[in-house]
């Protein structure tokens, strides 16, 4: 059992990269956010436990998140390859993940850091527009609507959500960097961290990551 971790700030493209890697390799994509939402929706024991915290507006504890991860790992085999997207984010989460993999004879082999200039992150995140009527998303630069300000799907008005505004985005990036700096240093010390430039064509980026993974 081997695992890789996709690491990078909001807007670095982790989700897109994960889907591309999944399509051309044997890696199984694990997004703890998706797993959490699915468990809550299905009403599983872990989902109900997590929902209690979420309803109170509290962060879901690391111990609950790792239960989700362990449930997924228990479904796999010794030869499976896993790709974690956006997890872990803290040193305690990393330690729990390493112990969980270790009990199953596995380990983290690479931490792929999607290195993105701050101004690019801000441009990507502030450029999103959402339809007021149907919720369709686009981007004013990367994926523009056919008609400025108008939804391609239903013709509704496109607007910028409050959490996509620049002041909010800058704060999110600052919080993320502060939260993860110790984890980045830890993976660098373990010689697991590999930085790749995510501000390039997606095809070249995936090719570079595949070379790193061998």
Q: Do 126 and 201 belong together in one domain?
A: no
Q: Do 202 and 159 belong together in one domain?
A: no
Query: Is 161 in the active site?
Result: yes
Query: Is 89 in the active site?
Result: yes
Confidence of residue 96 (pLDDT cuts 50, 70, 90): very high
Per-residue pLDDT tens digits for 98-138: 999 999 999 999 999 999 999 999 999 999 999 999 999 99
Asked if the structure places residue 159 within a domain, the reply is: yes
Asked if the structure places residue 170 within a domain, the reply is: no
Number of domains within the chain? 2
Which entry of 14, 67, 124, 186 is annotated as an active-site residue?
Answer: 14
pLDDT at 15: 87
Domain range holding 126? Answer: 117-164
Q: Do 121 and 199 belong together in one domain?
A: no
Asked if the structure places residue 171 within a domain, the reply is: no
Q: Do 183 and 100 belong together in one domain?
A: yes
pLDDT at 200: 93
Average predicted confidence (pLDDT) for the chain: 92
Query: Is 104 in the active site?
Result: no
Which entry of 22, 89, 104, 195 is annotated as an active-site residue?
Answer: 89
pLDDT at 177: 92
**pTM of the complete model:** 0.85
Which entry of 2, 67, 124, 128 is annotated as an active-site residue?
Answer: 128
Per-residue pLDDT tens digits for 145-163: 999 999 999 999 999 999 8
HEC string of the chain equals CEEEEEECCCCCCHHHHHHHHHHHCCCEEECHHHHHHHHHHHCCHHHHHHHHHHHCCCCCCHHHHHHHHHHHHHCCCCCCEEEEECCCCCHHHHHHHHHHHHHCCCEEEEEEEEECCHHHHHHHHHCEEEECCCCCEEECCCCCCCECCECCCCCCEEECCHHHCHHHHHHHHHHHHHHHHHHHHHHHHCCCEEEEECCCCHHHHHHHHHHHHC
Q: Do 18 and 71 belong together in one domain?
A: yes
Confidence of residue 37 (pLDDT cuts 50, 70, 90): confident
């Amino acid at each position: 059992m081997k695992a890789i971790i996709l690491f990078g700030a909001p807007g670095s493209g982790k989700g897109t990269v994960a889907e591309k890697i999944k399509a051309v390799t044997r890696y199984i994509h694990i997004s703890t956010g998706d797993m959490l939402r699915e468990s809550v929706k299905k009403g599983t024991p872990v989902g109900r436990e997590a929902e209690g915290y979420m309803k109170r507006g509290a962060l879901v504890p690391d111990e609950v998140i790792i239960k989700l991860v362990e449930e997924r790992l228990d479904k796999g085999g010794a030869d499976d390859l896993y790709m974690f997207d956006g997890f872990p984010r803290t040193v305690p989460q990393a330690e729990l993940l390493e112990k969980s993999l270790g009990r199953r004879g596995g380990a983290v082999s690479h931490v792929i850091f999607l290195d993105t200039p701050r101004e690019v992150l801000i441009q990507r995140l502030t450029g999103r527009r959402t339809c007021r009527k149907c919720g369709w998303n686009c981007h004013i630069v990367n994926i523009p609507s056919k008609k400025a300000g108008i939804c391609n799907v239903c013709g509704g008005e496109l607007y910028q959500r409050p959490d996509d505004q620049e002041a909010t985005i800058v704060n999110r990036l600052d919080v993320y960097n502060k939260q993860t700096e110790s984890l980045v240093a830890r993976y660098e010390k373990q010689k697991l961290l590999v930085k790749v430039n995510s501000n390039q064509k997606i095809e070249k980026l995936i090719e570079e990551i595949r070379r790193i993974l061998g």
